[in-house]
Structure formats: C-alpha cells, structure tokens
C-alpha cells in the first residue's frame, strides 16, 4: 500500500536547485522534496507521498492521523521494521542489540505517539 503520511520537517536545505527537507515520520527520517509547498518551514507538518510534500498540515491533524495509522499497523507496512525483517529472514527473533519493535515489551507504551513528545 502506498500512503500519504504526515511528517514533521526537521531541517531544510537546497540541493542542486531543489528545496529538500529531512522529515520525521515518528522516528523514521526521510528526505522529502518541498517544491510543491514552498511555504514549509522547520517544525511544520506536511502530508508526504512518494518523497514529495503535497500539503501543509496542522500539528493536531498530523498527530491524530499518525496515531490512527499506528493503531491500524500501516506505518510498519509503509516504512517497515528493518530489524524485525532481518531477524525473520535469519530465522531469529530479533538481532542482538536491535531496538525493540514498536509495541513490544521495552518499547514503551503499547501505542506510543508516533511523533514523540510535543516541542
């Protein structure tokens, strides 16, 4: 499934004439093109689809959407759990030293706020 997912802009820079950002999707950081939404600033939230920010979004809507996606399990489907996938392919539970998967014991609350604490 391919989703448009809300994320928080961490930093903005120009790369080869293109406005790009580092965007946090609940702990997964991705490069995102901001050319369609030139008004974006650090700290803003955007709806992102296939690496392009499509629309600015208010913080509460972003958090509500990410919590819903987390409850439905679609964030893992969209971004994956690289440690868990590697472990499954190796026939193990999880590689030694790997961070706990979301919702597992030691990972915090069963459904953490995907965007972390509010600034």
- pLDDT digit string (tens) for 69-96? 778 777 666 666 555 555 565 665 544 5
Q: What's the burial of 15, exposed, middle or buried (CB within 10 Å: 0-12/13-18/19+)?
A: exposed
d(CA 8, CA 10): 6
Rounded to whole angstroms, how far apart are CA atoms 40 and 29? 17
CA 61: distance to chain centroid? Answer: 15
The answer to whether the Cα torsion of 102, 72, 62, 49 is positive or negative is positive
pLDDT value at position 97?
53
Nearest to 95 by CA among 109, 85, 105, 104: 85
pTM: 0.62
Distinct helix (H) and strand (E) counts, the chain? 3, 5
Give the residue-averaged pLDDT of 38-53. 95
Instruction: Quote the pLDDT of residue 58.
Output: 93
Contact of 33 with 19, CB cutoff 8 Å: yes
Q: What is the pLDDT of residues 13-42, one digit of tens each?
A: 999 999 999 999 878 889 999 999 999 999
């Amino acid at each position: 499934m391919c989703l448009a997912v809300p994320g928080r802009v961490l930093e903005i820079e120009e790369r080869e004439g293109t406005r790009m950002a580092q965007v946090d999707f609940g702990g997964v950081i991705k490069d995102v093109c901001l050319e369609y939404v030139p008004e974006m600033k650090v700290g803003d939230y955007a709806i992102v689809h296939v690496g392009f920010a499509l629309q600015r979004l208010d913080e509460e809507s972003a958090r509500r959407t990410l919590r819903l996606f987390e409850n439905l399990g679609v964030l893992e489907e969209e971004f994956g759990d690289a440690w868990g996938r590697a472990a499954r392919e190796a026939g193990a539970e999880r590689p030694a030293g790997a961070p706990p998967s979301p919702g597992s014991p030691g990972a915090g609350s069963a459904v953490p706020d995907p965007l972390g604490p509010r600034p």
